[in-house]
Amino acid sequence: MALAKESWGSRIGLILAMAGNAVGLGNFLRFPVQAIQNGGGAFIIPYLICFLLMGIPLLYVEWAMGRFGGKFGHHSAPFILDVHDKRKLWKYVGAFGIFINIAVAAYYCYLESWTLGYLWHSLIGTFNGQSQIQVASFFGNYISLQTLEPIFFWILCLILNTWILSKGLKGGIEKLAKIGMPLLLIFGILLAIKGINIRAGSEGAIHDGTEGLNFLWTPDYGSIWQMKVWLAAAGQIFFTLSVGMGAVHCYASYVKEHEDIALNSQAAGWINEFVEVVLGSSILIPIAIGYLGIDKVVEMTRTGGLGLGFQTLPYLFQQWGPIMAAFAGIMWFGLLFFAGITSTMAMGMPCIGFMEDEFGWKRNKAAFLFGGIIMILGLPTILFFNQGVFDEFDYWAGTVALVIFALFEIILFAWVFGIDKGWKEITDGADIKVPIVYKFIIKWITPFILILVFIFSLPDIWDKINHKENKYAIQIASKPHILLTQNNVLKQNILHSYTDSFILNATSVMENDGILKAEKKAIFLYRENLKKYNEFKSTEFNLETFKKEHEKTMRYKNWARPFLLIIFGLIAWLVYIAGRKRNAIFQSENQNNSMLNEY
């Protein structure tokens, strides 16, 4: 049995590093938007149920599998899974645990570099005196590479990530976690206090900050019974805990034999939940609603949280004066940077551990290989960002692959390795009593939930493969009267009691208790349809150019998919080579032992 080359220097370092792995950009940009889009306060019910029945079990499983694999000197998913069952299938399933991290890091590091760029611009006062439109235009120009500045910050981010990874667990990752996570929490708490204490009529605010919290957490119980809400909740658990990636396995493989994983896993998991549910919901939405109003924020969150986080908050911070705006920008983009870089560290370690274990590479060489791979794979997501390559990487590697890997790993742990042996591994050295009910949940409930998530995701996967969104955009641009027909249907079936003037001009729609939920949704859809119709009918709109852009996007997306498959194939080939090397060593050792016995 080989011993781990490294181990964590301290318990707090391990917990903070694991929490840093889980806490990412999605805690602050994705979670509050998901909550708004899926029933506000009612979203937390399926979210917490998914956390208890899927998130916590997967944390137990991945920590246990990682520590078990570490006993045999394995620090990457292919051979961590392999020691749980010697059938060849599992090490190739484990290839997902390297592929996902490399593919996600390729685009995630670019997002991370945005936070560095915006931190710099907050510091030097770039947004001072700019209008909301100017701040939004700055973001559009930034991602369109109007200057080389985004490339500079991206390369700087790559170098920083690579350098920290080259310093190892104690000297690099653990030190970063001990500095970055406390700062993230401090920045988050200060911004949350400021956001919640916004007062209507002060500094240009039109609502109290608590109005945003009330809106975010006011339950819409009717949405609880919608399958899309449960799928969104389950998806958010994957995003927020970084399960189904292979990163947790890798970190846990450096935990010493018989050292606690039960309490450590829960500490890391609940720190993440505090950051997401408490801090994540107390910054973006309260500040945005305080200054823009609920209707505007609902409209803006239809396209996700990046718009609010990068296009809107820098403008809203200016309402607090230039000095406070600079501090707020540094804290906001600083916490996003620490959330990003601590996650990227975890993505780099499986690749590094694999090269160290299987090919005898030194840490520096393996770290620079990871940095080089991320640079090469990241270029398409940057150069063709507006053509959807970024989104393709995120969807296939950062969403679909997570569910597939998590489903396979829990089947291996609970059914092939065996729940009895698995439970013993979870509770070995535990500093808390793990509820026995989780033995049943891990074997039956969690696999069932994962199967349901995958099955109900199939229609969306099929739509993605067939470019449904792009084809629909071309269709309505070619025949904009479809939008008017949709509006007529909305008017006849849902909005028949309202005048056109009210539908188009009414303010504070979301705050009006006299308007039903279905009617509120219909009003916003009606407005959006009319806005698109006017855009398509304007003299400045060129249908052929629009078609060519969307067809170009579909082509680039079609190229991105086999590109990702090739990456996975290369990783699987390396796993095959590593497996052959191990078999050759094993046979050589057996032959030597046989000769010694004969002698």
DSSP bridge partners of 219: 40
Q: What b/e string do you get for 314-325 counting C-beta neighbours within 10 Å, with b at 16 or more? A: bbbbbbbeeeeb
Tell me the longest C-alpha to C-alpha distance in the chain.
99
pLDDT score recorded for residue 3: 42
**Least confidently predicted of 86-90, 162-166, 311-315, 508-512:** 508-512
Residue 518 near residue 526 (C-beta atoms within 8 A):
no
pLDDT at 599 over 60: no
Grade residue 147 by pLDDT with cuts at 50, 70 and 90: very high
Residues sharing a CB contact under 8 Å with residue 571, sequence separation 6 or more, in sequence order: 95, 98, 99, 102
Dig out the tokens for 318 from the structure.
Answer: 């200016």
Please compute the mean of the pLDDT values over residues 540-559 and round it to a whole number: 97
Give the Cα-Cα-Cα angle 150, 155, 160 (nearest 5 degrees). Answer: 125
DSSP, collapsed to helix, strand or coil, labels residue 48 as helix
Please, are residues 219 and 40 in contact by the beta-carbon 8 Å criterion?
A: yes
Q: Token digits for 458?
A: 């199939």
Amino acid at 501: S
Q: How far apart are the first and last CA of the chain?
A: 25
Delimit the domains of the chain by residue range.
11-465+545-598, 480-541
**pLDDT (0 to 100) of residue 4:** 42
CA gap 37, 153 in Å, rounded: 32
Q: How far apart are CA 81 and CA 74, in angstroms?
A: 9
Q: How far is CA 173 from CA 151, 168, 365, in A?
A: 25, 7, 17
Q: How many Cα atoms occupy the beta-carbon half-sphere of 581 within 13 Å?
A: 12
- Cβ neighbour number for residue 186 with a 10 Å cutoff: 13
Model pTM score: 0.95
Contact present, 79 and 91 (Cβ < 8 Å):
yes
523: left (phi over 0), alpha (psi -120 to 50) or beta: alpha
In the structure encoding, which two tokens stand for residue 510, read together? Answer: 């979301």
Angle between helices 401-411 and 96-124 (to 10 degrees): 140
344 in Cβ contact with 113 (< 8 Å):
no
Contact 351/166 with Cβ under 8 angstroms?
A: no
Give helix 363-383 / helix 543-598 axis angle, nearest 10°.
160
The pLDDT of 193-210, averaged and rounded, is 95
Give the 3-state secondary structure of residue 40: strand
pLDDT digits over 2-11, tens only? 444 689 999 9
Q: Which residues of 297-312 are buried (b: 16+ CB within 10 A; e: fewer)?
A: bbbbbeeebbbbbbbb
State the Cα–Cα distance between residues 39 and 34, nearest whole angstrom: 9
Is residue 291 within 8 Å of 205, Cβ to Cβ? yes
Gap between the Cα atoms of 536 and 516, Å rounded: 30
> Ramachandran region of residue 480, left (φ > 0), alpha (ψ -120 to 50) or beta?
alpha
* Tokens, residue 552: 């170009």
Q: Which residue has the tokens 């407005």?
A: 527
Which of 239, 235, 246 minimizes the C-alpha distance to 90?
246
Q: How far apart are CA 26 and CA 22, in angstroms?
A: 10
Q: Which of 40-54, 355-369, 401-415, 425-439 has the lowest mean pLDDT?
A: 40-54
Q: Which amino acid is at 214?
A: N
Residue 493: CB partners within 8 Å, gap ≥ 6? none
The confidence band for 353, taking pLDDT boundaries of 50, 70 and 90, is very high
Instruction: Give the three-state DSSP class for 219.
Output: strand
Instruction: Give the percent of the chain with pLDDT over 90.
Output: 87
pLDDT in tens, 480-508: 999 999 999 999 999 999 999 999 999 98
- Rounded CA separation 488/224 (Å): 29
Reported as a pLDDT band with limits 50, 70 and 90, residue 592 is low
Q: How many Cα neighbours within 13 Å face the side chain of 545? A: 4
- The kind and range of the H/E element at 547 are helix 543-598
Instruction: Note whether 459 and 64 are within 8 A (CB).
Output: no
- What pLDDT does 220 receive? 76
- To the nearest 10°, the Cα dihedral for 181, 182, 188, 190? -170
* Range with lowest mean pLDDT among 46-55, 273-282, 296-305, 401-410: 296-305
Categorize the per-residue pLDDT at 318 as very low, low, confident or very high, splitting at 50, 70 and 90: very high
| CA 243 vs CA 117, 428, 521: distances in Å | 29, 21, 33
Residues 6+ apart with CB under 8 A from 440: none
> What is the percentage of the chain residues whose pLDDT exceeds 70?
98
For residue 325, which amino acid is it? Answer: A
pLDDT in the model for residue 1: 39
Superfamily of domain 11-465+545-598: Amino acid/polyamine transporter I (1.20.1740.10)
